[in-house]
Structure 1
Amino acid sequence: MDAASRPAPGSWAVVVNPSKFDDLARVRDDVARLCDVHDWPRPTWYETTVEDPGEGQAREAVDAGAELVCPLGGDGTVRAVASGLLGSELPMGLLPGGTGNLLARNLSLPLDDLDAALTVAMTGADLAVDVGEVAWDGAEPAVFLVAAGMGLDAEMMAGVDARLKKRVGWLAYALSGASALFRLGFGVRVAADRRRAVSQHARTVMVANCGELAGGLSLIPDARVDDGLLDTILATPRSIAAWFAIALHVLSVHRRGHPALVHLTSERVDIVTKEPVEAQLDGDAIGRRTRMTCSVRPAALTVRVVAREPE
């Protein structure tokens, strides 16, 4: 269905993280104004809390009859709302409200234009995307939409200055990463599906559902959010030269590969470290862990994306 022919939903909801906005009333007014301009219904608003960052609010919106649910906050809010929508088959519309907007980046959605993002959410096409699940140290699984990881990427998240992040956005992560770059690595064993396990001394290990990270960095160009697979990246540099070679590989148009960068694809992956290592989930640091078991739920979530023009 093309964008022009899709009717706006009769009832829809916004799940907002109020901590992300200095003037939430103005944001509400902007959404109301845009709805009035386009003759769309105004949404029902649900605010997240520390105790419930969005999952319960999304379920409440579903129970209330919403036909579309839109998270408005950071990547954590998007992940929580997605958790609440699993199994409902209702579409999720992505509105810009965080620093990373990682899932929106990977789906080529508007990142800083509320009007454009709202237009896609209200009139775009539906795309069924994969959802990752991760169980840390044997705990109950949590979902991820972009990536779960251990090591350098998680240390970047844990070390970022919140005030600096608010001022300069994703560059705050780069500064945090620079300070963490030369710390010691860790022993890790990675088993992907039924293939022989890989044991390495690594600096970072990341399990990704899609390939683009903050700042437009394309870590895994071949990763697709709807391919039914997870992509695991294991970085094992042992020198400054190896780090530069990995950086050249990531930034290059022609991916030549490097022995210090292992790439595996699978439906399931088990990762065990020799000692507790900092971990992250869709960009949120969650503390030190020693094991993560990841699997993929193919086409488990519906997301509203830009409608393609008919050929």
Structure 2
Amino acid sequence: MLNPVGRRAERARRELAAALAALGAPAPTVLTTTVDSPGADQTRRLLAAGADLVVVAGGDGTVREAARVLAGTGVALGIVPTGTANIVARNLRLPRRDVRLAVATALGGGELRMDVGSARMTTAPGPVVEAVFLVMAGIGRDAQTVAATGVRLKRRLGWLAYFTAGIRHALLRPLPMVVDLDGHPRAVRTWTVLFGNLPRVPGGITVFPDAAPGDGALETLEVPLRSLLDWVAVAGTGLFHRPRRTRALAYGRTSAARVTPPSPLPVQLDGDVVTDVVDLEVGVLPGALTVRCRPARPRIRRTAAGRVLH
């Protein structure tokens, strides 16, 4: 499946066809995404045709659409990152600059069973939106930051676009919300509430140091900022990997959560935004998605005769 507006999209198509030809395999069935059909429908069509591997050449949004359909099916997902941030690929340490290596990994890499986050959002107009996320979900100021990041700025600056937009929201006041983790509701004031499945965001910033893709739970983070000094502590924790002991970062862990703001707020799921959310329910689907990852390095066993690779 190909997102045609992604960087290096056409090269990914060529490399995939060449790799399959070299293996003596049939030519790939390539379905392209559109604004109105961003990937879920195409994935369903591939499954209906009997695909046992779906390779996505695109960004995090396209990967997330495919994962929504593939979760629980046992059909593997291969990722060739051609988007702006490629957060999933960064966390899984997939090749991001070498398209040929990315294709080889998608076709023949080892498999990882990873958790999938689920989100059920009630919006102010009334519709309920159900979606999944692979890296993180957030409600509050962080989602406002993502929403404020223009498409042109993202294409020009890459992940730095998110930082540029974030500066404008950094000193806005914390928001009141009711946060319920595993049946224990609390009233809080926080800049955002985040739910993490993987540890890192673009720029090498570690938001959830304890997050693991297959542990069956989500890490949580509330950010009850009070002053500019709190932001300095937050920056030090994420960028310089300092200890997490700061009043501005409240970590937790959950398998099911609910966040209710007093007025509509945006929610971001791996960088895609749903607006006017008045109720957010979050859960986890343990080990639901099979992902092709970088092949393991050969292990070296030393013997009296020398080194043996196996």
Report deviation, 1:43.
1.5
CA contact (8 A) 1:54 1:84 kept: no
Counterpart position of 2:173 = 184
**2:149 partner amino acid:** V
Equivalent of 1:274 in 239, 259, 262: 262
**1:19 partner amino acid:** V
Counterpart position of 1:136 = 121
SS in 2 for 1:225: coil
Q: In 2, distance between residues paired with 1:186 and 1:253?
A: 26
Report deviation, 1:140.
4.7
Counterpart position of 2:191 = 203
Report deviation, 1:166.
0.7
User: Are 1:33 and 2:18 an aligned pair?
Assistant: yes
SS in 1 for 2:264: strand
**1:179 partner amino acid:** R
TM-score by length of 1: 0.89
Report deviation, 1:212.
0.7
C-alpha deviations, 1:251-293, integer Å up to 9, x for none?
3334242122111101111111122122211101221212211
Counterpart position of 2:246 = 258
Structure 1's unaligned 5+ residue stretches are 1-14
C-alpha deviations, 1:14-70, integer Å up to 9, x for none?
x1112325x855543343334445655432100112232111111111121222101
Matches within 5 A, 1:31-110: 31-37=16-22, 41-110=26-95
Report deviation, 1:210.
1.1
Matches within 5 A, 1:89-168: 89-137=74-122, 139-168=128-157
Identity of aligned residues (%): 36
Instruction: Describe the shift of the 1:237–1:83 C-alpha distance in structure 2 as closer, same or farther (beyond 3 A).
Output: same
TM-score by length of 2: 0.89
CA contact (8 A) 2:2 2:32 kept: yes
Q: In 2, distance between residues paired with 1:168 and 1:302?
A: 31
Instruction: Describe the shift of the 1:19–1:253 C-alpha distance in structure 2 as closer, same or farther (beyond 3 A).
Output: closer
**1:68 partner amino acid:** L
User: Are 1:230 and 2:214 an aligned pair?
Assistant: no
Structure 2's unaligned 5+ residue stretches are 300-310
Instruction: Describe the shift of the 1:276–1:129 C-alpha distance in structure 2 as closer, same or farther (beyond 3 A).
Output: same
Q: In 1, distance between residues paired with 2:25 and 2:224?
A: 51
SS in 1 for 2:262: strand
Counterpart position of 1:3 = none
SS in 1 for 2:100: helix
Q: In 1, distance between residues paired with 2:269 and 2:284?
A: 15
Q: In 1, distance between residues paired with 2:147 and 2:43?
A: 27
CA contact (8 A) 1:125 1:304 kept: yes
CA contact (8 A) 2:79 2:292 kept: yes
